[in-house]
Amino acid sequence: MSLFIRKPLSQLLAQAEDGEKSLKRTLTATSLVLLGIGAIIGAGLFVRTAAAAGGHAGNAVTISFIIAAIGCALAGLCYAEFAAMIPIAGSAYTYSYATMGELVAWIIGWALVLEYALGAATVSIAWSQYLNKIFGGAIPFEWCHSPFEYLVNRNGIEVVTTSLQAGEAAITNGIINLPALLILLLISLVLIKGTQESAIVNAVIVFIKVAIVLIFIAIGWGFINPDNHTPYFIPQGDPGSAYEGFFNHGWGGVLRGAGIVFFAFIGFDAVSTAAQEAKNPSKDMPIGILGSLVICTVLYILFSHVLTGVAPYTDFVNAGKEASVAYAIQTYMTGYSWLATAITIAILAGFSSVILVMLLGQSRVFYSMSKDGLLPGVFSELHSKFRTPYKSNMILFVFVSIFGGFFPESWAGDLTSIGTLFAFVLVCIGVILMRRSDPDIPRTFKTPWVPVVPILGAIVCAIMILGLPAGTQLTALGWMVIGLVIYFLYSARHSKLRNPAAAKK
């Protein structure tokens, strides 16, 4: 049987209404918008903005956000059509199964692990650093950093780095990031309790962190130093400097910056993983996906403009790191130290909602893959009372904790971006294929200007993949190779679509 066998749409829709064996429908359009905002506003805004500005894009990080938003908007229109037409948990994995066949579906499902699981790990690391900020650095370096991170003294400034320079000795190095493990455990327990409860917690957190973002923009605008926005693009550095190389200055730096801050937008597609838990998915899913994307894009552009105006982008090369926003406030916004504390607390809460949505999304993708036989049945076992994939949540906690506890934020963050971008490319292509293979299926929401919008979406996302570091690309390739090995050794033999006898068990 062909490796590209497609799952019939009728079978997918029947799966969505599988009674007590299905996930519980509790989410409204408002819940979905808040779910998207909960995932979108987090580490990408508060951490990756400074990383992209200081290392590659400079003040033009605002343009990086616009480029990333364009790619997301194009892909979001495609996601909205699929989510309204196929209201099944699994997001891009499910859509690929219906349009491009099982092997492609497996590849994209495996890539989504990079997006959701590593996304949760990345944010848990940032959560740990902000928690330590509140405690005034009381948590010893060794217990809130990975073994691959070192504390060094460079020109009188203590800097956290993942590589030592020639002849440089570390003051100390990390052992395990315990706070990251703590927040992952707490969020996993909330998810096991139920989706509706998770949505309520998320809604409260979203209100708090959006309010803080607006306050920072409003107050910080008065502290913008026009000189900090000149030059707008990073000029080419001297040989051997941090800004040498095409992707470290000018438009090349903006492109690399777009790939980095793209991490900030991954929340909107996580909304699509909850399609099977939406009360009226055909109407509510497009609102949830596109509504959250529009709101957050506007906030992102304003936020990055203010941040790089308050503090020069060169500061973010060494100072601030994960707690860069608090650093900018304490250093340049005299009299507003209370805001640094408030924003740090709100960011902690905000990060928590991002982790919640990421872990929810990952467990729902695994739920769908397990229902199809491509993963063991343990990933689709539902709790008798809560009707949540509780065993999957427990397994994911262990897996994500490995990355959250033992790897640096930058490594996990770039891999998250490449997994997301790859998913977006395939979803854009999938809309074109579905329009040709099933033109008569009712579509309550249609992607406009097909095939122009999907083609542009795929191209923009592919360009951002090329803008990511070569090491990240090779690591992602290695991850895909591991996934293919698992597919041919286990998934292909247990697929319920390829092996009808297995579907009856």
Measuring CA to CA, which residue among 43, 193, 46 is closest to residue 125?
A: 43
Nearest to 347, CA basis, from 211, 197, 146? 211
Q: Which residue has the tokens 């969020």?
A: 187
Q: How far apart are CA 296 and CA 69, in angstroms?
A: 9
Euclidean distance between CA atoms 439 and 444, whole angstroms: 13
Residue 241: CB atoms within 10 A of its CB come to: 11
Domain coordinates in residue numbering, the chain: 9-139+177-498
Tokens of 434: 């579905």
Q: What residues contact 448, with CB distance under 8 A and at least 6 apart? A: 77
244-268 burial, b at 16+ Cβ within 10 Å, e below that, comes to eeebbbbebbbbbbbbbbbbbbbbb
CA triple 46-50-54, angle to 5 deg: 175
Query: Domain 9-139+177-498: which CATH class?
Result: mainly alpha
The two tokens of residue 126 are 């940032």
Round to whole Å and give the CA distance between 226 and 232. Answer: 10
What's the burial of 3, exposed, middle or buried (CB within 10 Å: 0-12/13-18/19+)?
middle
Residue recorded with tokens 């679509």:
497
pLDDT in single tens digits along all 505 residues of the chain? 578 888 887 787 676 665 445 566 777 888 888 888 877 886 567 778 888 898 889 999 999 999 989 888 898 899 888 888 877 766 788 888 988 899 999 998 998 888 788 889 988 998 898 888 788 889 999 999 999 998 998 877 788 888 888 778 888 989 999 999 999 999 999 888 876 667 777 788 888 888 888 999 999 999 999 999 999 999 887 565 678 788 788 899 998 898 888 777 876 777 777 777 788 878 888 888 888 888 999 999 999 999 999 999 988 887 655 668 888 998 999 898 888 888 778 778 878 888 888 898 889 889 989 999 999 999 999 888 878 889 999 999 999 999 999 988 776 767 777 888 888 898 899 999 989 988 888 888 899 999 999 999 999 889 888 878 888 889 889 999 999 999 999 999 999 988 876 555 5
DSSP per residue, 24-39: P--B-HHHHHHHHHHH
Determine the Cα–Cα distance for residues 43 and 275; give it in Å rounded to an integer: 24
Tokens representing 128 are 């740990």
Of 195, 198, 188, give the one whose Cα is nearest residue 394.
Answer: 188
